[in-house]
Structure 1
Amino acid sequence: MSRKQGAAYTLGFSALVCLVCSVFVSFSNVSLKERQELNRQVDKQKNVLVAAGLATSDEKLSSEEIVARFQSIVPVAVALRDPNQPKGEERKPGSGAVLSDVDATAVDMVAAMQDENASLREPANKAGILRVPYVGVVYQVMEGDRVARLVLPISGKGLWSTMYGFMAIAADTTTIKGVSFYDHGETAGLGGEIENPSWTARWHDRRLFDDAWQPIFAVRKGATGSVAEDPHGVDGLSGATLTSNGVTESVRFWVGEYGYGPYLKAFREGGR
């Protein structure tokens, strides 16, 4: 082999190695992203199960077990805002209609809130919510052919962070059956107690609405009585008044007129 041929061989071999390596790295990156997305979806499903009372927060479940338990839950896409509403026009509630042509499993509300093309800017509100997605998700917990519970995504500002969670309500659309906060940056031991199972258990059977279907649920300052004594309130978090207020306003926003309120009204009246 001549010197020129040897140089060409070396150059070609090096290029081939680089090509193979780049393909391998690209494949690895895609595989990693796919695994991360799968893990994120499974984690979301676990938190929905916890809110729905189909799992506990400290229960060790494999991905397969989580997916299996999730089979009794049907996600549905819901219209929270009208994408055709002109910019600058006074906000209007969404229709609350179920969007049967939208794949609810592909709806990412958290991402949509950061996307101007997937959400509308919200006027200043006590929950600290900046944008509301055009499309939301409701998780219908089925018992046979009957919807037993509804799980709603909730979010809002605490003292230091945006708090994200899921809240389960009975088919009467007012009785709380469970809640799970899965992401926040509140102070450990204070506002961070929103994820403490002993506190979230106190929400069970409290009610969201008054007789006129206005949201009045509140995290009180101090201790509350039994459900019979205070059906619309739950104990406040010691030393975390602003976090407690944030939870109150977040819940009221998402079950109210500009959140899932129109959907809940339609559900009560016989729709899905």
Structure 2
Amino acid sequence: MPDLNPLNPWRKLLALPNESRAKTLAVAFLVSAVCTVIVSAAAVLLDPVQQANRAAEQAARMEAMLAAMPDMAALIERTGGDDLETLIVDLRTGGLARDIEPGTLDAERAFSDPVSTTPLEPDQDLAGLGERPDLVPIHVLRENGRLRLVILPVVGQGYQSTLRANLALEGDLRTVAGFSIIEQGETPGLGARIDDPAWQARWQGKRVAGADGGVRLRVVRGGASNEFEVEGITGATRTGNGINNAIQFWLGPDGYGPVLERLAEDGL
């Protein structure tokens, strides 16, 4: 008659000598299985907390960027924070994605969602993304129907990490109102200094494009010599190049270029 007691195999395993290969493999398997379950459960349980912390950090950085723009901060205070509206734009058309509620799509998920992305050819992929999200949330501020501010999420490959930032443009869509790094993992003391508010303040008032419409905004080594240049950080040339590549891509035809054209023409 077969032994149906589920404890007997366990007892037999424990009864084996410690140097037994079967016992060693069985214990190692059980320990790894238990650890896997614990790690997986912790990841699932902590994911909402991590997302909430990430969202709070991004909101704080957005507030800090707006506070660093005196004219815009005063405008937002005068018109009310609710007037900073979130729009979901479809980069394939340059128009609005009207069937998606703005609150259901955040910038980080938009840039990592494999379902709605467009593969980029090597000559297109200036920012080193591989794929471009099709649907992206942007933030727009209007006063009496007039466009005053647009905030664009920007992502690109830096020297040692993925760089995430917000680029704010004034209502003319040709002048930088603010620039804020959201996430970076560059070299401490060098590239990581792009987090410094004093360096980010250098972007204010810079011009984006020349008379021909070509994107000229860029970080340069040494001092800035014209209205399109942002003075770079000493020893962080590769990080600066990563930011330049991201700016060139996202303000170009494969990024927000068509969206900005629509904003200029009919305000979306």
> Does the alignment reach a TM-score above 0.5?
yes
- The structure showing larger relative contact order (alpha-carbon pairs under 8 Å, at least 6 residues apart) is 1
The higher radius of gyration belongs to: 2
Distance 1:207 1:128, change over 3 A: same
Distance 1:146 1:221, change over 3 A: same
- 1:39-96 CA distance string (max 9 Å, x none): 332322222233334689xxxxxxxxxxxx753310000011xxxxxxxxxxxxx211
Distance 1:143 1:47, change over 3 A: farther
Aligned twin of 1:187 = 187
Q: 1:101 aligns with which of 90, 99, 103?
A: 99
Aligned twin of 1:169 = 169
Distance 1:161 1:37, change over 3 A: closer
CA separation in 1, counterparts of 2:67 and 2:98?
26
Q: State the secondary structure of the residue aligned to 1:173.
A: coil
Alignment RMSD (CA, Å): 2.4
Distance 1:30 1:189, change over 3 A: closer
CA separation in 2, counterparts of 1:131 and 1:29?
26
1:51 lines up with 2:65 in the alignment: yes
- 1:215-237 CA distance string (max 9 Å, x none): 11110111114xxxx11101011
CA separation in 2, counterparts of 1:271 and 1:112?
23
CA separation in 2, counterparts of 1:126 and 1:29?
34
One-letter code aligned to 2:100: V
Distance 1:249 1:192, change over 3 A: same
- 1:86-140 CA distance string (max 9 Å, x none): xxxxxxxx21101222112221343343333121222223321211111011101
- Superposed, 1:17-56 pairs within 5 Å as 33-53=47-67
Greater share of residues in helix: 2
Aligned twin of 1:271 = 267
- 1:237-264 CA distance string (max 9 Å, x none): 1001111111111111111110011010
- 1:143-164 CA distance string (max 9 Å, x none): 4544310000001111101100
Distance 1:218 1:30, change over 3 A: closer
One-letter code aligned to 2:89: V
Is contact 1:45–1:70 with CA below 8 Å preserved after alignment?
Answer: no
One-letter code aligned to 1:75: T
Tell me by how many angstroms 1:32 deviates: 5.5
Aligned twin of 1:21 = none
Q: State the secondary structure of the residue aligned to 1:189.
A: coil
Is contact 1:109–1:133 with CA below 8 Å preserved after alignment?
Answer: no
Aligned twin of 2:15 = none
Aligned twin of 2:74 = none
Number of aligned residues? 216
One-letter code aligned to 1:238: T
Tell me by how many angstroms 1:195 deviates: 1.1
CA separation in 1, counterparts of 2:251 and 2:206?
14
Is contact 1:50–1:179 with CA below 8 Å preserved after alignment?
Answer: no
Distance 1:232 1:78, change over 3 A: same
TM-score (norm 1): 0.72
Q: State the secondary structure of the residue aligned to 2:96.
A: coil
Distance 1:29 1:222, change over 3 A: closer
Distance 1:108 1:147, change over 3 A: same
Aligned twin of 2:207 = 207
TM-score (norm 2): 0.73
Q: 1:233 aligns with which of 219, 229, 254?
A: 229
CA separation in 1, counterparts of 2:145 and 2:267?
14
Aligned twin of 1:262 = 258
Aligned twin of 1:137 = 137
